[in-house]
Amino acid sequence: MKRRLLAAIAAVASLALILGGCSSGRDAGSGGTAGGGSTTMNPADTLVGIAMPTKSLERWNKDGANLEALLQKDGFKTTLQYADNKVDQQVSQIQNMVNQGAKILVIASIDGTALDPVLTTAASKGVKVIAYDRLINKTDHVDYYATFDNYKVGTLQGTFIKDKIATMSKPINFEPFAGSPDDNNAKFFFAGAWDVLLPLVKDGTLTCVSNKCPASNDEWTKIGIQGWTSATAQSEMQNRLNSFYTGGKKVNVILSPNDSLAIGIEEALQGAGYTPGADYPILTGQDADKANTLNIIAGKQAMTVWKDTRKLSEQVAKMVKQIATGQTVDVNDTKTYNNGNKVVPTYLLDPMVVTKDNVKSALVDSGFYTAADLGLS
Smallest Cα–Cα separation from 130: which of 142, 118, 138? 142
At 38 the pLDDT is 55
Residues 301 and 314 in one domain: no
Which residues 6+ apart lie within 8 Å of 273 measured at CB? none
Residues 169 and 283 in one domain: yes
Angle at 192 between CA 275 and CA 363, to 5 degrees: 55
Residues 225 and 301 in one domain: yes
Residue 349 forms part of a structural domain: no
Per-residue pLDDT of the chain (377 residues; tens, 9 = 90+): 334 434 443 443 343 333 333 333 323 332 334 444 457 899 999 999 999 999 988 889 999 999 999 999 999 999 999 999 999 999 999 999 999 999 999 999 999 899 999 999 999 999 999 999 999 999 999 999 999 999 999 999 999 999 999 999 999 999 999 999 988 899 999 999 999 999 999 999 999 999 999 999 999 999 999 999 999 999 999 999 999 999 999 999 999 999 999 999 999 999 999 999 989 999 999 999 999 999 999 999 999 999 999 999 999 999 999 999 999 999 999 999 999 999 999 999 999 999 999 999 999 999 999 999 999 97
Residues 267 and 318 in one domain: no
* CA neighbours closer than 13 Å in the CB half-sphere of residue 297: 16
Please answer whether residues 214 and 197 qualify as being in contact, where contact means their C-beta atoms are separated by less than 8 angstroms: no
Report phi then psi at 214, rounded to 5: -60, 145
Residues 122 and 92 in one domain: yes
At 324 the pLDDT is 97
Distance CA 71, CA 320 (A): 8
Residues 85 and 127 in one domain: yes
DSSP, collapsed to helix, strand or coil, labels residue 17 as helix
Beta-carbon neighbour count of residue 9 at 10 Å? Answer: 10
Q: What's the domain count of the chain?
A: 2
Residue 372 forms part of a structural domain: no
Residues 297 and 328 in one domain: no
Residues 223 and 90 in one domain: no
Which domain covers residue 77, as residue numbers? 43-142+308-344
Write out the DSSP string of 296-350: HHHTS---EEE--HHHHHHHHHHHHHHHHTTPPPP-SBSSS-B-SS-BPPEEEE-
Per residue in 319-364, pLDDT tens?
A: 999 999 999 999 999 999 999 999 999 999 999 999 999 999 999 9
pTM equals 0.79
Residue 351 forms part of a structural domain: no
At 5 the pLDDT is 38
At 57 the pLDDT is 84
